[in-house]
Structure 1
Amino acid sequence: MHVCTLRAQLRRPVKLLVLCPDERTAAWACTPIEIEDDPNGMVLRPWALGPNHIPVVEDWEQARSSPELAVLSASAHGDNEAVLKAVQYALDTVPEDRSLIYNDYIVSKLSSAAQKTWEALMATGTYEWQTDFARKHIAEGEAEAIILFLEARGLKVEAEQQKRIRECTDLDLLSEWVRRAATVREVEELFA
């Protein structure tokens, strides 16, 4: 439907690209579709892109120079740890408003085993976040976890204490607070 509308608006041929999760779907998706109500007898011939058509991007510099290709590579070849490391490196070059979307897309396409690898890569503690955007979101998550953990332990976290925790952007300090949150008897001890 959208292809026909776009063709009518542009008054020129258009192509439909279908990203497919497997080769069987790609073979099916490239089947020509005859548009019955089109007076010109249009036949839509979709381009179907399956995993075998997507290159394996393991080189970090290639991933950085073409992050969208690296994202597609990770979605198709996520069982390859080198591909995941390359896309992890590439995501730091992507504008902040797209980085989380790409990450979400990658994770949604990974097998369970590849998701565990991805989570391990992200949690190694050796990866240094390159963008303020990434550091900000990691800090926000850590702050919320600290507050929830303290409350789960039955400690009352006052509004001013919550504000102090949420405003902290020092990832090392937040990590220390996470450790302290397990043993403090009062929330104020967290900041000692």
Structure 2
Amino acid sequence: MVSSSHEALHRIFQEDPALFARAVKGLGITFAGPLSGEPLPTDLTENRPVDRRLDTLLRMDARDGESFLLAVESQGKPDPDKPASWAYYLSHLHAKYGLPPILLVVCADRRTASWAARHVDIGPPQWPSLTVRPLVLGPDSLPVIDSPDEAARDIPLTVLSAALHRRDPDADAILKALATALKDLSADDENTASIFIELTEQGLGKTPAADLWRHIMAADLSFFQSQTAQSLRAEGRAEGRAEDILFLLDGRGVEVSEEERARIVGCEDLDVLSVWFARAITAVSAAEVFTSAGE
């Protein structure tokens, strides 16, 4: 079954096709700044019953007039059958569209990225007839974007950075920078901000970073409109918010005494709990959750 995190790693290129040129700069490869990308059908099935589908397929039109096909595959784990499928995709696309194809494989796992980056020869060792050479984006090929200003300059790249670094210690800093940038964006374009909020949520998968993202969104429901934020708003239960506060503090390594834990769990005022939750995002002690500076 295809997961939401799988979808996010290739859908981000549908939202911003020009992201491709910016993302692969870290691989030492330069393209002439594609200005637009036209989505193409991803179904490569032939008349015979062989089902072959790409994740995302875009026709890229570059500034210098060059056009090429960008096939994006989100890969969650090594698969020995994939190189043969990729070779088929590339050959089929070249024959069908008459344009040079590029295969981009996006992996949130370092081991998978290393595996996908291999050049695979197809044919006898004396004379391979075809070599599959995918471009691979993984945690080590995309920078950590942890500055709100830098995140605001390229939100799609920051979303991709968050997804690929979701298991790294830097994930928290990326998400906080991204949240700030998206809050500013939502003031001008709420719909676009909502798209990138959802892609971030999906791209983080089932990781601790995803829990932190839900907590960050819940801290300011006035502008975050994702499905998670909406469900939290609709739920409105003090018990659930208390658990969120304790989870966040525990995840950040903040010690909570039994007395402080009992105070949080025993509070039934959702407004008070919301204030405490917002403070818990940056508090260095449990005492700061109950009393902010200057109070």
TM-score of the aligned structures, taking structure 1 as reference length:
0.57
CA shift at 1:17, angstroms?
Answer: 1.0
| Percent of aligned pairs with the same amino acid | 28
The AA in structure 2 aligned to 1:115 is: A
SS at match of 2:101: coil
Distance verdict in 2 for CA 1:41–1:104, change over 3 Å: same
Match of 2:145 in 1: 57
1:1-192 matches, within 5 Å, as 1-35=88-122, 41-78=129-166, 79-80=169-170, 81-92=172-183, 93=185, 95=192, 98-108=195-205, 111-112=207-208, 114-123=209-218, 125=219, 127=220, 129-130=222-223, 134=225, 138=229, 142-143=233-234, 145=235
CA shift at 1:95, angstroms?
Answer: 1.2
SS at match of 1:15: strand
2-side partners of 1:44 and 1:101: how far apart?
33
2-side partners of 1:60 and 1:106: how far apart?
19
SS at match of 2:105: strand
The AA in structure 2 aligned to 1:67 is: I
CA shift at 1:68, angstroms?
Answer: 1.4
1-side partners of 2:106 and 2:226: how far apart?
32
Distance verdict in 2 for CA 1:27–1:103, change over 3 Å: closer
Match of 2:76 in 1: none
1-side partners of 2:211 and 2:228: how far apart?
21
Distance verdict in 2 for CA 1:97–1:88, change over 3 Å: closer
CA shift at 1:16, angstroms?
Answer: 0.9
Contact 2:198 2:227 in 1 (8 A): no
2-side partners of 1:12 and 1:41: how far apart?
20
Distance verdict in 2 for CA 1:120–1:138, change over 3 Å: closer
Contact 1:70 1:90 in 2 (8 A): no
Distance verdict in 2 for CA 1:107–1:11, change over 3 Å: same
Distance verdict in 2 for CA 1:82–1:26, change over 3 Å: same
CA shift at 1:88, angstroms?
Answer: 1.8
* TM-superposition CA deviations, 1:39-97 (whole Å, max 9, x none): x9332201122201110101112212211111121123333222110122334437156
Structure (1/2) with the larger helix percentage = 1
The AA in structure 2 aligned to 1:50 is: G
* Alignment coverage as a number of residue pairs: 142
Larger radius of gyration: 1
Distance verdict in 2 for CA 1:135–1:96, change over 3 Å: same
* TM-superposition CA deviations, 1:18-38 (whole Å, max 9, x none): 1122222222112223455xx
2-side partners of 1:99 and 1:22: how far apart?
21
